[in-house]
């Protein structure tokens, strides 16, 4: 069991160290390592990992590491896998944080970031477009999208309330529409 | 107490984020700016760093904010805070996940949460756009500023490249090179 936990840690450490873009980019790597190389889970389990990670709070990467770790090695396995997936980021960013500010004092670097900011904005636009196209469409969906956008953009309402409110709208409307369909 | 504040803030962020990628951006932006841990420009700069380094955005940004606000121990507190809700919830759900998967309540909530995340990110991007195009605050003066037009054109080109599936790191490198060329050509103040 100890060996299994160690290899859980190491497997997810590698996954954390070699995925760029996080979350969903990690799923193919998890599949290759967990299903093909180690044989810890089956192909159809991967769909469960995605479904569970998407419908629970927190980053997809951490959710899926915890879930796989638990299935393979219990609570300790979950801890090992999660620690493994987090550690590469933690180490790399801790080092970068130490030098980023000094680095940004350089004239050339400041100019570089002047350009980079416009590029990052474009990446965010692309990201929100991708999320929009994956989001289920429908009347309720569009209303919630518009409502959350307007309230967040125009008011100072705490985002946590908006998020909780939208979950409530989704829940209530799904119950109401279901009742309507039964009649 | 900065460490407790980092832990608790990131715990809340972790608990209320649904979905991958930049789903966390709106909460990070509102909390981190409100606490004064980063400026909007620093946040945008860090997104570029996160895109160019391995690992999930959520962990990268937690570690970074933790380090800048509270050193190494701050980083541990923030990162632990953001992970813990996931860890606890998954352990609870994993035991009954067949039921959870089919649960009508969960499906109903997700039907509201998924579009909400899209709307919230769009609002977060609007605020980022303000910081990118109007770094000194919105005023008419910006229309006589060559930097504004440079950013606008670069942004349009980068959007086109992103939708043509150019790799994010390639876009960041190209934008950096153009920024350097533009900065030296027009002797921008730093």
Tens digit of each residue's pLDDT (9 = 90 or more) over A69-91 = 999 999 999 999 999 999 999 99
**Most distant CA atoms of chain A, gap in Å:** 69
The ipTM estimated for the assembled molecules is 0.92
Name every chain B residue with its beta carbon within 8 A of the beta carbon of A71.
94
Residue A146 shares a structural domain with residue A118: no
pLDDT in tens, A153-177: 999 999 999 999 999 999 999 988 8
Closest CA to A118 of B189, B133, B71: B133
Percent helix / strand / coil, chain A, rounded to 5 = 85, 0, 15
Q: Which of A12, A30, A48, A59 to mutate to test the interface with B (most CBs of B within 10 A)?
A: A59
End-to-end CA distance of chain A: 54
- Tracing tokens 């192909």 back to the chain, one arrives at A43
The confidence score (pLDDT) of residue B96 equals 87
Buried b (16+ CB within 10 A) or exposed e, B80-94: bbbbbbbbbbbbebb
pLDDT > 90 fraction of chain B, expressed in percent and rounded = 81
Render chain B in DSSP notation, one character per residue: -HHHHHHHHHHHHHHT--SSGGGGHHHHHHHHHHHTSS-HHHHHHHHHHHHHSSB-HHHHHHHHHHHHHHHHHHHHHHHHHHHHHHHHHHHHHHHTHHHHHH-HHHHHHHHHHHHHHHHHHHHHHHHHHHHHH-TT-S-GGGGG-HHHHHHHHHHHHHHHHHHTT--HHHHHHHHHHHHHHHHHHTT---
Asked if A170 lies within 8 A of B111 by C-beta distance, the reply is yes
Residue A126 shares a structural domain with residue A182: no
Residue A118 shares a structural domain with residue A151: no
B126: closest CA of chain A, how far (Å): 8
Residue A25 shares a structural domain with residue A66: yes
Residue A93 shares a structural domain with residue A109: no
Asked if B94 lies within 8 A of A52 by C-beta distance, the reply is yes
Q: Is the pLDDT confidence value at A181 over 60? A: no
Residue A11 shares a structural domain with residue A45: yes
A122: closest CA of chain B, how far (Å): 5
Q: Which of B21, B114, B162 sits opposite A24 (nearest CB)?
A: B21
Please check whether residue B68 is in contact with residue B37, taking contact to mean a CB–CB distance below 8 angstroms.
yes
Q: Is the pLDDT confidence value at A121 over 70? A: yes
How many angstroms separate the CA atoms of B188 and B173, rounded? 20
The confidence score (pLDDT) of residue A20 equals 83
pLDDT in tens, B100-135: 888 899 999 999 999 999 999 999 999 999 999 988
Who has greater pLDDT, A77 or A1?
A77
CB neighbour list of residue B137: distance below 8 Å, 6 or more residues apart: none
The confidence score (pLDDT) of residue A22 equals 67
pLDDT in tens, B53-97: 999 999 999 999 999 999 999 999 999 999 999 999 999 998 888
pLDDT in tens, A47-64: 888 889 989 999 999 999
Tell me the pLDDT band of A183, cut-offs 50, 70 and 90: very low
Q: What is the number of CB-based contacts under 8 A between chain A and chain B?
A: 393
B130: closest CA of chain A, how far (Å): 10
Residue A29 shares a structural domain with residue A80: yes
Name every chain A residue with its beta carbon within 8 A of the beta carbon of B132.
117-118, 120-121
**Residue A99, SS3?**
helix
The confidence score (pLDDT) of residue A179 equals 63
The residue in chain A having the minimum alpha-carbon distance to the alpha carbon of residue B129 is A121
The residue in chain A having the minimum alpha-carbon distance to the alpha carbon of residue B147 is A114
- Look up the domain containing A121 and give its range: 104-134
Question: How many Å separate Cα B184 from the centre of its chain?
Answer: 29
Q: Is the pLDDT confidence value at A182 over 60? A: no
Name every chain A residue with its beta carbon within 8 A of the beta carbon of B131.
117
Number of domains forming the structure of chain A: 3
Asked if B178 lies within 8 A of A115 by C-beta distance, the reply is yes
Of A17-31, B7-21, B23-37, B162-176, give the lowest mean pLDDT range: A17-31
How many angstroms separate the CA atoms of A116 and B155, rounded? 9
Strand partners, B55: A20
As a whole number, mean pLDDT of residues A101-126 equals 94
Name every chain A residue with its beta carbon within 8 A of the beta carbon of B172.
116, 119-120, 123
Q: Which of B101, B113, B155 sits opposite A118 (nearest CB)?
A: B155
The confidence score (pLDDT) of residue B188 equals 82
Residue A40 shares a structural domain with residue A80: yes
Who has greater pLDDT, B190 or A132?
A132
pLDDT in tens, A135-145: 888 999 999 99
Name every chain A residue with its beta carbon within 8 A of the beta carbon of B52.
20
Asked if A119 lies within 8 A of B48 by C-beta distance, the reply is yes
The confidence score (pLDDT) of residue B189 equals 79
Domain ranges of chain B: 2-132, 134-190
Residue A87 shares a structural domain with residue A159: no
Query: Which pair of tokens denotes residue A181?
Result: 């369909």
Q: Is the pLDDT confidence value at B148 over 70? A: yes
The confidence score (pLDDT) of residue A21 equals 72
Q: Which of B14, B21, B183 sits opposite A23 (nearest CB)?
A: B21
The confidence score (pLDDT) of residue B70 equals 95
**Residue A73, SS3?**
helix
The residue in chain A having the minimum alpha-carbon distance to the alpha carbon of residue B47 is A120
Residue A23 shares a structural domain with residue A74: yes
The confidence score (pLDDT) of residue B137 equals 75
How many angstroms separate the CA atoms of A2 and B5, rounded? 35
Residue A18 shares a structural domain with residue A62: yes
As a whole number, mean pLDDT of residues A85-114 equals 94
Instruction: Region of B53 please: left (phi>0), alpha (psi -120 to 50) or beta.
Output: beta
Q: What angle do CA B91, A134, A19 make, to 5 degrees?
A: 60
Helix axes A107-134, B104-133, angle to 10 degrees: 150
B190: closest CA of chain A, how far (Å): 7
């Amino acid at each position: 069991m100890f060996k299994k936990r160690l290899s859980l840690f190491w497997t997810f450490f590698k996954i954390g160290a070699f995925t760029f873009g996080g979350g969903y980019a990690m799923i193919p790597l998890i599949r290759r390592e967990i299903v093909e190389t180690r044989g810890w889970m089956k192909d159809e389990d991967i769909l469960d990992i995605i479904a569970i990670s998407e419908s629970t709070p927190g980053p997809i990467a951490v959710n899926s590491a915890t879930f796989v770790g638990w299935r393979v090695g219990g609570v300790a396995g979950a801890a090992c896998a999660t620690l493994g997936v987090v550690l590469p980021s933690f180490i790399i960013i801790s080092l970068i944080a130490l030098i980023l500010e000094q680095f940004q004092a350089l004239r050339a670097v400041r100019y570089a970031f002047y350009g980079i900011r416009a590029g990052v904005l474009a990446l965010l636009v692309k990201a929100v477009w991708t999320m929009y196209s994956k989001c289920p469409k429908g009347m309720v969906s569009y209303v919630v999208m518009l409502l959350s956008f307007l309230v967040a953009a125009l008011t100072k309402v705490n985002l946590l309330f908006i998020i909780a409110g939208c979950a409530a709208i989704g829940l209530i409307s799904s119950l109401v529409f279901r009742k309507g369909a039964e009649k | 107490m900065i460490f407790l504040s980092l832990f608790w803030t990131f715990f809340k962020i972790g608990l209320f984020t649904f979905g991958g990628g930049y789903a966390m951006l709106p909460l990070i932006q509102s909390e981190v700016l409100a606490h004064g841990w980063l400026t909007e420009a620093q946040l945008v700069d860090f997104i570029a760093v996160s895109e160019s380094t391995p690992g999930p955005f959520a962990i990268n940004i937690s570690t970074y904010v933790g380090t800048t606000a509270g050193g190494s121990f701050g980083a541990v507190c923030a990162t632990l805070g953001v992970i813990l809700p996931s860890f606890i919830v998954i352990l609870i759900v994993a035991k009954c996940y067949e039921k959870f998967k089919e649960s009508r309540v969960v499906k109903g909530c997700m039907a509201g949460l998924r579009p909400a995340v899209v709307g919230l990110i769009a609002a977060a991007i609007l605020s980022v756009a303000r910081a990118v195009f109007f770094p000194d605050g919105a005023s008419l003066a910006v229309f006589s500023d060559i930097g504004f037009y440079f950013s606008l054109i670069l942004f349009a080109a980068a959007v086109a490249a992103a939708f043509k599936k150019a790799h994010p790191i390639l876009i960041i490198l190209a934008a950096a090179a153009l920024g350097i060329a533009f900065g030296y050509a027009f002797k921008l103040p730093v």
